[in-house]
Structure 1
Amino acid sequence: MKHLLKTEKNYNYIEVGEGKPIVVLHGLMGGLSNFDAVTRYFGNKGYKVIIPELPIYTMSLLKTNVKSFAKYLYDFIEHKQLDEVILLGNSLGGHIGLYHTKLFPEKVKALIITGSSGLYESAMGSGYTKRSDYDVIKKKAQDVFYDPEVATKEIVDEVYETVNDRNKLVKTLAIAKSAIRHNMAKDLPHMQTPTCIIWGKNDTVTPPEVAEEFHQLLPDSSLYWIDKCGHAAMMEHPDEFNAILDKWLTERNF
């Protein structure tokens, strides 16, 4: 289902439902549509689901980093006049959510991360030397998932277009370096925000031991596994992902 993209000031975003705000943060090569199942489910369950388009390829190169994206998120939340938000992030989106929570803990009621960067980056921006080879890019896109069929032609085409756009490739590499530079191992033990960690058991981008480390370092965290699942649990097993998250939110009275 296609949701209407709203534009206000310099923000583009999707907004569905009414109630407690869940702000969703997409990954480096992830589109807003990756969260269709989350949007549909929670938008009908007393939550307002908001997915901003992060300015990954539109920020100046100097500002193409995790910290700038976290500040952009703060400005967006202020613009929308939201309080006590629930942040949900996948991959780079999880990292941005974590960094935002470190900087502005009073703004965040709860945090959900899945396949998040922030502790370990498996060559986030490398492997594109053969970027003009469609089959190589297709294989890279398929490797993100346990089931390669999840990587539709539309997804592969989008990744192919991104890595063959010189400006986007330069920024992808800048983000990869920034993710390593903004490692959060020392910050996490000081972050008291309740955090739900949902992870694919077969994630090869951020392997299962990364989820274990997040769980160990974050003082108030719960860890849930999804079997036969790669780096984007909310896409590959949407029903299971939503059920886990719904249960956690209900138990914590969020």
Structure 2
Amino acid sequence: MRALLRSPLTVHTFRDGERTLRYTRQGAGPPIILIHGLSGSGQWWRFNAPALASAHEVLTLELLGVVGVQDAARLIVAWAESLELPPAAVIGHSMGGQIALYVTAFAPQRVCRLVLACASGLLHARWWKVALNLPRAGFSGRPRFMPVVLRDSLRTGLPNLYRSARDLLRDDVAALLPTLEVPTLVIWGSRDPLVPPKLGQQLAASLPQAHYVELPHAGHVVMVDQPRAFNAAVLAFLAGPGPA
């Protein structure tokens, strides 16, 4: 018997003024919001969303064209309020993690758990060095994922990539971190060349209720490089009582 093909997910659109957010929904249960990073897309969660949807409703966001970190966070808060979502677990990768920190700061009542995967926020470098390291970050992980990295980079375009990288690096979250009381999982790839693990350890140490996990043999796109370990760690964290 031939295997049944998975039906494509419906893409929804939310508009707030001139800003646009696209998203998909799958699964049922307590909500999880997935936020991709710089020059990324919802495809970066394709090895994770189905597993997470086994026990949760998973809402995967697309932030194409939204440049500023704090602007993106405000858009996400407005979107969550429009859907009247209950408190959600927010999972952000790279720049998406930095955005997730601001979502938590702007609307703490909307966030019950936070997962920061190779998150920026404490990264200090010139924008062009970060941009040049993006291909290296892709090659540090699964080679078969490189077509997605290249396609999304081309789709983002150099002007948006430049503006987003510049805004990301100008925005320092150090003063914000001690104020965020939400239980947090900080999860990193041991081979991340873009945002080194020492920054992940520093990030976890600065958050009041954070636990740090480092996955071996994973690069910057940790949830693609080690999806089973990533999914298991996230599901265990969401099911547990949270860090002491």
Normalising by the smaller structure, the TM-score range is: 0.7 to 0.9
Contact residue 188 and residue 213 of structure 2 kept, 8 A: yes
Q: Distance in 2 between matches of 1:198 and 1:216?
A: 13
Contact residue 104 and residue 110 of structure 2 kept, 8 A: yes
TM-score by length of 1: 0.83
- What's 1:149 paired with? 143
Contact residue 114 and residue 183 of structure 2 kept, 8 A: yes
Within the alignment, does 1:175 sit opposite 2:169 as a pair?
Answer: no
Within the alignment, does 1:250 sit opposite 2:232 as a pair?
Answer: no
Within the alignment, does 1:53 sit opposite 2:97 as a pair?
Answer: no
- What's 1:38 paired with? 48
Tell me by how many angstroms 1:7 deviates.
3.1
Tell me by how many angstroms 1:117 deviates.
0.7
- What's 2:9 paired with? 3
Unaligned runs of 5+ residues in structure 2 are 1-5
1:190-229 equivalences under 5 Å are 190-229=179-218
Tell me by how many angstroms 1:226 deviates.
0.4
TM-score by length of 2: 0.86
Contact residue 43 and residue 148 of structure 2 kept, 8 A: no
Contact residue 115 and residue 200 of structure 1 kept, 8 A: yes
* Paired AA for residue 176 in structure 2: D
Task: Identify if the C-alpha distance between structure 1 residues 161 and 23 changes in structure 2 by more than 3 Å, giving closer, same or farther.
Answer: closer
- What's 2:111 paired with? 108
- What's 1:13 paired with? 23
Q: Give the secondary-structure state (helix, strand or coil) at the position aligned to 1:13.
A: strand
- What's 2:81 paired with? 78
Q: Distance in 1 between matches of 2:119 and 2:130?
A: 20
- Residues 121-158 of structure 1: per-residue CA shift (max 9 Å, x gap): 45555476xxxxxxxx8x95253353351443343244
- What's 1:22 paired with? 32
- What's 2:3 paired with? none
Contact residue 142 and residue 150 of structure 1 kept, 8 A: no
Q: Distance in 1 between matches of 2:21 and 2:130?
A: 31
- Residues 76-121 of structure 1: per-residue CA shift (max 9 Å, x gap): 1011110211100001110000011112212110100101111114
Q: Distance in 2 between matches of 1:125 and 1:91?
A: 17
Q: Distance in 2 between matches of 1:107 and 1:117?
A: 22
* Paired AA for residue 9 in structure 2: H
Q: Distance in 2 between matches of 1:96 and 1:13?
A: 16
Contact residue 66 and residue 96 of structure 1 kept, 8 A: yes
Identity of aligned residues (%): 25
* Paired AA for residue 36 in structure 1: R
Q: Distance in 2 between matches of 1:225 and 1:127?
A: 22
Within the alignment, does 1:96 sit opposite 2:99 as a pair?
Answer: yes
